[in-house]
Amino acid sequence: MKTQLSHEQLTSLKRQAAEARSLIIKTVHHAGAGHVGGPMSAVDLLVSLYFNEMKVDPQDPHADNRDRFVLSKGHSAIGLYSVLAVKGYCPIDELNTFDSIDSRLQGHPDMTALPGLDMSTGSLGQGISAAVGMALGAKLQNKEFRTYCMIGDGESQEGQVWEAADIASKYELDNLVVIMDYNKLQQFGWDGKETVREVPVINPEKRWEAFGWNVITCDGHDFTEIKQAFDEAKQTSGKPTIIIANTVKGKGVSFMENAYLWHSRVPTDEELSSAIKELEVGV
């Protein structure tokens, strides 16, 4: 029987996601720098992880038995910071320090600065290798924590991703779940003359299956489907799982959705106001 979320659970998750999206846009506007599109597409997945899936406690962020999370697409750090702030890992007001020289909230995650970060990331393709190491370490030490890792679809073009995928399959890391934020839109790689941009990776399901992974697809903005995907991953034995989460870049704000220019752009005062109004209506 597939897991169903209650009305109260769905309402809470939607409210937390809307708050996180508002914080992303406000923070990037305040800082005058940062990414928007990728963090917005990832928010529902991050909220699901931190509020409905992982065993974590902001009051004990270094607990030995906590589940681990690696944001391999580290340029979407403001999305993770916003969710961590809503969860209670840091004050929401601290988001105003984002990308400042002495801030704990750098443009890419710094695990030495902010409790709740399990890995420093930035160079694309490297985060999944760290996650594989965490999952393998748990196996070797007979620990029960699970490791989750989010990668971007553009990032999956990196060769290191596939080296890590091969090792995870070899060692049957069924305590590892990778989530691909499959928003199908990356910033670079085209000459800009075409009106329709290429999808970064075609048929990712077949690629991961070829590497021996359990593959699940879901709507990355449907909290029930996300929960069902995580539940199926937990029931999988003898192989790692990847969840191909179909998402929309810039999700939640109409003029940002599926617009590659919002990969990294600071909203104007007027755009900020319009975006926040949309998000408030959507709660």
pLDDT of residue 185: 86
Q: What's the one-letter identity of residue 127? A: G
Distance, CA of 24 to CA of 43 (rounded, Å): 10
Q: pLDDT tens digit string along 15-43?
A: 999 999 999 999 999 999 999 999 999 99
Q: pLDDT tens digit string along 192-241?
A: 556 667 788 889 999 999 999 999 999 999 999 999 999 999 999 999 99
Distance, CA of 23 to CA of 16 (rounded, Å): 11
DSSP-H helix ranges across the chain = 7-31, 37-52, 77-87, 127-140, 159-170, 204-210, 223-234, 269-281
What's the sign of the alpha-carbon dihedral 182, 220, 121, 166? Answer: negative
pLDDT of residue 202: 87
The domain ranges of the chain are: 7-281
Distance, CA of 22 to CA of 40 (rounded, Å): 10
- DSSP per-residue letters across 161-176: HHHHHHHHHHTT-TTE
SS3 category, 150: strand
pLDDT of residue 190: 56
Nearest in space to 177 (alpha carbons), one of 30, 54, 73, 5: 54
pLDDT of residue 148: 98
CATH number of 7-281: 3.40.50.970
Percent of the chain clearing pLDDT 70 (strictly above): 95
pLDDT of residue 226: 98
Residue 229 to residues 223, 238, 261, Cα–Cα distance (Å) = 10, 17, 31
Average pLDDT, stretch 39-67?
97
Average pLDDT, stretch 81-85?
98
Query: Checking DSSP bridges between strand 147-152 and strand 176-182, what pairing results, if any?
Result: parallel
